[in-house]
């Protein structure tokens, strides 16, 4: 598939998953829903690998990297994300998750030795201002500001784990580990490890047999996990984390539009300017103002 197709799949599906997560909350504990989601996604991927006769013979260091990627990107990240959406609007959570762009910069410097560019510092400043503008009305009108701040903190911590997972994913692909097998193992490791934590912590493995829960679970497992992650990590391996980061410019907009229709998200002038500031900040931080359009860049890097 061409890179432009991978980009569209990642952005559109991830933009919709934030709303879908809200249907997972309520009867079943967030940590249990995460286990169900990635356990099911792992089974789907393993089935595909068996049909295609894919090999799982990897070096011990490769297995460790896949385990680490799974725990960071699929396990702890989504556990915290589900918890955060219990406290803040899903659209606002999607917007706040764009902070991963800045965490990527810091961790790329620490673990990969990449230089921090001036445009990144400028973009980060603009982006943080946008986040503040968006969340100001939410905090002002919230009856429980401590609850909102708790949700914000959970989402930011989840973004830290996701960013570290992206760094590990880039490393696994440099070692020529196929995305399909890496995701099958990584999601399986994550569901098993988080499952052990749930058992030790005394969580009940309950299940919600409602149409909304089962439907959203299937959507998140198949589309949000198998298809979207497969598309995005393949894109990341082809054109690099910085160019693949274009996805973060699109999916928050999709999430906010869906939230407007299904969660009655109320737009404010501050929120609108805040969203524009975040998009602009990410655009500057990734150095895209120097480059061609999104479509042209993806077309020029197709393989």
Place of tokens 């150095």: 287
User: Who contacts 54 (Cβ-Cβ below 8 Å, separation ≥6)?
Assistant: 48, 178, 180, 181
State the total domains in the chain.
1
Q: What is the mean pLDDT of residues 192-196?
A: 97
Measured CA to CA, the distance from residue 81 to residue 83 in angstroms comes to 5
Whole-structure pTM value: 0.82
Higher pLDDT, 137 or 272: 272
Residue numbers of the domain that contains 153: 3-300
Give tens-digit pLDDT for 227-249.
998 888 788 777 665 566 667 76
Higher pLDDT, 16 or 94: 16
Q: What is the mean pLDDT of residues 200-208?
A: 95
Alpha-carbon torsion angle 52, 56, 62, 65, nearest 10: 70
Give tens-digit pLDDT for 207-234.
999 999 999 999 999 999 999 988 887 8
Q: What is the pLDDT of residue 91?
A: 78
Burial class (CB in 10 A: 0-12, 13-18, 19+), 206: exposed
User: Who contacts 95 (Cβ-Cβ below 8 Å, separation ≥6)?
Assistant: 131, 134, 252, 255, 256, 274, 275, 278
Judge whether residue 27 has pLDDT over 90. Answer: yes
Least confident of 17-21, 242-246, 269-273, 282-286: 242-246
Q: What is the pLDDT of residue 123?
A: 73
Least confident of 18-22, 82-86, 106-110, 246-250: 246-250
Spatial CA neighbour of 22 closest among 216, 223, 257, 253:
216
Provide the mean pLDDT of the chain. Answer: 83
- Angle (nearest 5°) at CA 256 between 254 and 257: 65
Spatial CA neighbour of 188 closest among 64, 268, 71, 79:
71
Residue 211 exposure: Cα atoms within 13 Å on the Cβ side: 0
Supply 268's token pair.
């404010």
Express as a percent the part of the chain with pLDDT over 90: 42
Cβ–Cβ contacts within 10 Å for residue 174, how many?
Answer: 9
Judge whether residue 168 has pLDDT over 80. Answer: yes
Higher pLDDT, 3 or 144: 3
Supply 144's token pair.
């429980």
Least confident of 57-71, 84-98, 243-257: 243-257
Higher pLDDT, 301 or 20: 20
Express as a percent the part of the chain with pLDDT over 70: 83
Q: What is the pLDDT of residue 126?
A: 80
Q: What is the pLDDT of residue 244?
A: 63
Spatial CA neighbour of 189 closest among 14, 6, 39:
39
Q: What is the pLDDT of residue 236?
A: 72
**Distances in whole angstroms, Cα of residue 225 to Cα of each of 36, 78, 303:** 12, 11, 24
Q: What is the mean pLDDT of residues 291-299?
A: 50
CB 117 within 8 A of CB 270: no
Q: What is the pLDDT of residue 295?
A: 46
């Amino acid at each position: 598939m061409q890179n432009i197709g991978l980009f569209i799949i990642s952005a559109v599906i991830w933009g919709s998953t934030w709303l879908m997560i809200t249907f997972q909350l309520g009867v079943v504990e967030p940590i249990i829903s995460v286990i169900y989601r990635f356990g099911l996604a792992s089974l789907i991927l393993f089935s595909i690998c068996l049909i295609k006769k894919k090999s799982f013979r990897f070096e011990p260091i490769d297995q460790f990297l896949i385990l680490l990627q799974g725990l960071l990107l699929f396990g702890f990240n989504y556990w915290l994300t589900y918890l955060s959406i219990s406290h803040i609007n899903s659209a606002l959570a999607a917007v706040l998750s764009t902070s991963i762009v800045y965490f990527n910069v810091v961790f790329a410097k620490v673990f990969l030795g990449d230089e921090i560019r001036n445009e990144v510092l400028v973009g980060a400043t603009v982006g943080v201002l946008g986040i503040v503008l968006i969340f100001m009305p939410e905090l002002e009108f919230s009856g429980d500001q401590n609850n909102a701040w708790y949700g914000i903190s959970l989402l930011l911590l989840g973004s830290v784990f996701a960013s570290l997972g992206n760094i590990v994913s880039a490393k696994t692909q440099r070692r020529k580990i196929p995305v399909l097998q890496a995701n099958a193992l990584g999601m399986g490791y994550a569901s098993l490890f988080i499952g052990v934590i749930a058992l030790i912590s005394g969580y009940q493995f309950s299940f919600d047999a409602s149409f909304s829960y089962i439907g959203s679970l299937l959507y998140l497992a198949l589309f949000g996990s198998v298809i979207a992650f497969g598309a995005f990590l393949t894109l990341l391996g082809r054109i690099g984390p910085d160019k693949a980061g274009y996805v973060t410019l699109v999916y928050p907009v999709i999430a906010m539009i869906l939230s407007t229709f299904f969660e009655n998200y109320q737009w404010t002038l501050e929120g609108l300017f805040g969203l524009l500031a975040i998009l602009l900040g990410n655009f500057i931080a990734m150095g895209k103002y120097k480059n061609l359009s999104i479509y042209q860049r993806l077309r020029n890097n197709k393989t």
